[in-house]
Amino acid sequence: MTDTAFTYAQLVAIATRAERKLGLQQARQQDIPASQALEGLLLLAATKAGVGYIVQLAELRLQQQANQQTLQVARRMAKAIDRKNGRIKTGTGVSEQVWQAWFDGSAVPNPGKCRFACVLQAPDGQVFEYVGHLEYGDSCDAEFSGLILTLKQAHKHGLSQLLVHGDSQVVIDEINQRTKSSLPRMIEYRRQLEALCQLFEIIQIKWIPRHKNSRADALAQHTTN
């Protein structure tokens, strides 16, 4: 099999942007036609691709473009399905329907005794509630403990994908690395949470306003009992 004669326009259509740019540079440096320089680069690319001829390289690249377009269409469809079904997407397509969680914590007085809680909701609507306590701490300790409780309980349920909601901007910013406190206790909380996050295939932790976190907030409030 031999290459057919290509026009410069055809060579340009087959070449990548980098190849076109390099071809023009070589043409100027070597004082040769741009078509000759670009043809040499494409022959080299064909050899590296294991096909040997420019016509085969063109066919290979057309196939790769078609595959990429198919993948892009699939991803757009996946995003549309995600939005419709309230799912978290992976980098390659549609994930399974995920569990959701909400956490909160409080200290009374502040600092003082801490109470923290989380709510887990399965895709079928089933709800699980968990509450924990600390003998002493401030509201920050309570909130971080609430998120730790959430991830531990979610892991016990065997979850691989989880969407977590909380109304503590401090906690959300720390775990999403928007801020990084240098305080020793914050570093320790961050270390624990990063280790727990590794237990999940997909996890997203998002801030929500307090009025949208009412169930976890109610569980985390201290009672007179």
Quote the tokens at residue 130. 């968990």
pLDDT of residue 171: 92
pLDDT in tens, 146-197: 999 999 999 999 988 899 999 999 999 888 877 788 889 999 999 999 999 9
Domain boundaries, the chain: 8-85, 99-220
Residues 33-46 have a mean pLDDT of 90
How far apart are the C-alpha atoms of 201 and 92, rounded to whole Å?
A: 13
Quote the tokens at residue 150. 């959430």
Place of tokens 């401090």: 170
Backbone conformation region of residue 50, classed left if phi is above 0, alpha if psi is from -120 to 50, else beta: left
Q: Bigger pLDDT: 77 or 176?
A: 176
Instruction: Please tell me the least confidently modeled range out of 40-54, 97-111, 116-130, 156-170.
Output: 40-54
Confidence of residue 89 (pLDDT cuts 50, 70, 90): very low
pLDDT in tens, 58-73: 888 877 776 565 455 4
| Residue 134 pLDDT exceeds 90 | yes
* Contact indicator for 150, 100 with CB cutoff of 8 Å: no
| Residue 56 pLDDT exceeds 60 | yes
SS3 91: coil
Residues 34-45 have a mean pLDDT of 90
SS3 120: strand
Quote the tokens at residue 223. 């009672």
Which of the 8 DSSP states describes residue 210?
G
Instruction: Please tell me the least confidently modeled range out of 41-55, 124-138, 193-207.
Output: 41-55
Q: Comparing C-alpha atoms, which of 12, 34, 31 is closest to residue 23?
A: 34
Half-sphere exposure of 224 (CA within 13 A, CB side): 0
Q: What percent of the chain has pLDDT over 90?
A: 48
- Burial class from Cβ neighbours inside 10 Å (0-12, 13-18, 19+) for residue 48 reads exposed
pLDDT of residue 88: 41
Q: What superfamily does domain 99-220 belong to in CATH? A: Ribonuclease H-like superfamily/Ribonuclease H (3.30.420.10)
Half-sphere exposure of 148 (CA within 13 A, CB side): 19
pLDDT of residue 28: 92
Quote the tokens at residue 136. 């002493």
Quote the tokens at residue 194. 């990063």
How far apart are the C-alpha atoms of 217 and 222, rounded to whole Å?
A: 10
Enumerate the β-bridge partners of residue 109: none
* Contact indicator for 85, 77 with CB cutoff of 8 Å: no
Q: Comparing C-alpha atoms, which of 75, 112, 107, 111 is closest to residue 94?
A: 75
pLDDT of residue 90: 38
pLDDT of residue 181: 84
